[in-house]
Chain A
Amino acid sequence: MLVTFGASAHEMTPAYPEVKPSHVKNVVKVEMSFFNSREEIRYYQIDLFDLNWMNIPFSTTYRIMQVDYKEHKSFDVYIRKKDMPEAVYLCTTSKVRRTNQSSTLISSRICSRLDGEPA
């Protein structure tokens, strides 16, 4: 059975976000922008990893955020200053829905880097 999707994309910027001070002491924030044009996807998970893809604690409004089709969304991620030396990858991953067809689903993940642009 053929299952296709048209222009169906997942986009997150910036690739190298600026780390800014937040209103909370010893906590910094990064401001991200997100766009969902995957019609079959409504939820995206936010994760923060170190260089070895181990989870790093962070805070945001919704760890799994709902982003409707063709919707732009801005979100802030708050990270403790003491965790910043380890924090490298800030990622959003699509949450795929179960289907009733024998198929392969595609989970897309885009990761920005918090430790700056490559030299």
Chain B
Amino acid sequence: MRFNMKYSIAILSVCAFPALANVEITGSVEAKCVIQTTKSGSYGNPIASKLSTTPADGGILPVMRYDVSIADAYIASITHPTAFSSSPSLTDTIAWTGSTSVTQTSVAGMSAYEAAKTVVGNTTNFNLTLAGSTWFSTASSATYGSAKPLPGGTYTAVVQASCIAK
């Protein structure tokens, strides 16, 4: 009995050695664009016939952050509104204006995006030539025809923020 016990302990102690193996952790970085909606905007109503997201008019600028993992793989294309997606019934035309600007960057070189931007109609394009994060804000204003007061109610317009692979 004692003999068997001795052998059992010996065998178990051999088995008790930890199994050692190298476990690899692998990963890859691929082109990826993430659009973060940092802040949705709000219209101020500085005069009866106008809605504006400009802070001086009581509005709030919508802010979007683009994160790109690989340089020179994407274009940021941001379209300011030219129509309300919902509003009270309007009987006259609306004059729309808008613009999009770089407001903050994670890499100093991205400040050049603002000078290099191209505007086609109501769409502003930025070539995202560096990896990192860029913040954009879009100003939008709508003025009711013939300076009429806008009817009371809720007005909503949509900013289209696109990240397009090159």
Contact = CB atoms under 8 A, between A and B. Distances in A.
Interface of A: 1-5, 7-11, 13-16, 38, 89, 91, 96, 98-113, 117-118
A101 B35 contact: no
A104 B41 contact: yes
A14 B37 contact: no
Given A98-B85, A102-B51, A113-B165, A13 B32 contact: yes
A14 B85 contact: no
A11 B37 CA distance: 12
Interface residues of B, number: 43
A11 B64 CA distance: 14
Given A15-B30, A99-B154, A110-B162, A105 B85 contact: yes
B125 interface: no
A11 B39 contact: no
B40 A103 contact: yes
A9 B154 CA distance: 26
Contacts of A102: 42-43, 45, 51, 154-156
B60 A108 contact: no
Q: Which has the most chain B C-beta neighbours within 10 Å: A7, A98, A107?
A: A107
B110 interface: no
A18 to B, nearest CB: 12
B145 to A, nearest CB: 18
B165 A15 contact: yes
B37 A110 contact: no
Given A2-B42, A102-B43, A102-B45, A108 B154 contact: no
Contacts of A11: 32-35
7 contacts: A3-B42, A13-B30, A16-B31, A96-B85, A101-B42, A104-B157, A108-B162
Nearest to B155: A102
Contacts of B37: 5, 8-9, 38, 106, 108
B40 A111 contact: no
Nearest to A96: B158
Q: Which has the most chain B C-beta neighbours within 10 Å: A100, A105, A111?
A: A105
Contacts of B36: 7-9
Given A15-B74, A105-B158, A113 B166 contact: yes
